């Protein structure tokens, strides 16, 4: 009596094979891998909205600086708005206390969001941000880096988003992050408010001039921002192109002796 030979196992085809290999949900341009969770979608939508708010508020940021600088502070916490508001206070329009407090929401409004993104996605998200290469491994230093970096985030030549994403990646508690962020925001706002108060009338005149020509200033800011975005995207594409393709990503089988 002959024993039937086992049939050879065939590789999965169709949808099953597509699930094994990289699918559309493994897009390297997205910060998560595989199927996104509800938290991934919520955080990503928040980041997209934060980017849109920058462009929507850009005309107001320029036009309000010479007319209602405290409102401009509340919206974006911009350097020019803080200096102008303090200069107006020196001229008798408002107080320094209001100037300092009004800047806090504008400065801190998206910091917790980027902390959350770093907590969710880690290095995969951080390395896609401009300026992240400088602090790619900073999370290993723990609080020796993250604590002073958060306090000095407004003073450093590194985007705030990178610093707070690194803090989330390093698993810092949100309460600690917000306390350090508040301390840093008060230091930064106090410095700029003091400068604006000393400049006084000259800063008021300059702010009103900016508001008068707000359209042209806005066009200039948009042009500069677009140039920086295009340069960053080209750099990312070049880095991806320079990386050697692995057998798994190309679909080729490794050659065995």
pLDDT digits (tens, 9 = 90+) for 90-138: 888 888 899 999 999 999 999 999 999 999 998 888 888 876 665 655 6
Residues in the chain: 257
* 37's tokens: 């969770």
Does the pLDDT of residue 162 top 50, yes or no? yes
**How is the chain split into domains, by residue range?**
39-47+56-237
What Å distances lie between residue 185 and 12, 103, 111, 177, 252, CA to CA? 57, 8, 11, 12, 52
What's the pLDDT at 78? 84
* Separation between Cα atoms, residue 86 and residue 1, nearest integer Å: 99
pLDDT tens digits for 213-253?
444 455 565 566 566 666 666 665 666 566 554 444 444 44
Q: What is the Cα 8 distance to its own chain's centre?
A: 52
Tokens of 251: 């679909």
Give yes or no for a contact between 233 and 121, defined as CB atoms under 8 angstroms apart: no
Q: How many CA atoms lie within 13 A of 118 on its CB side?
A: 32
């Amino acid at each position: 009596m002959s024993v039937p030979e086992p049939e050879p196992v065939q590789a999965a085809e169709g949808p099953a094979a597509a699930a094994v290999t990289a699918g559309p949900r493994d897009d390297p341009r997205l910060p998560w891998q595989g199927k996104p969770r509800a938290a991934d979608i919520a955080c990503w939508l928040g980041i997209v909205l934060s980017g849109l708010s920058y462009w929507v508020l850009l005309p107001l940021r320029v036009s309000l600086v010479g007319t209602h600088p405290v409102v401009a502070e509340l919206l974006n916490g911009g350097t020019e708005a803080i200096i102008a508001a303090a200069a107006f206070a020196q001229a008798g329009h408002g107080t320094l206390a209001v100037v300092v407090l009004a800047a806090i929401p504008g400065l801190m409004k998206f910091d917790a969001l980027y902390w959350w993104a770093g907590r969710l996605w880690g290095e995969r998200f951080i390395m896609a941000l401009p300026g992240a290469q400088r602090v790619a491994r900073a999370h290993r230093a723990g609080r020796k880096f993250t604590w002073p970096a958060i306090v000095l985030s407004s003073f450093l030549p590194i985007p705030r988003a990178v610093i707070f994403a690194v803090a989330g990646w390093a698993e810092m508690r949100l309460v600690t992050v917000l306390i350090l962020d508040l301390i840093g925001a008060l230091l930064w706002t106090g410095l700029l408010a003091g400068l604006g108060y000393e400049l006084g009338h000259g800063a008021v005149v300059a702010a009103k001039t900016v508001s008068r020509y707000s359209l042209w200033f806005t066009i200039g800011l948009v042009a500069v921002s677009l140039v920086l975005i295009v340069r960053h995207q080209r750099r990312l594409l070049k880095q991806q192109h320079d990386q050697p393709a692995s057998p798994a990503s190309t679909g080729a089988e490794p050659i065995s002796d």
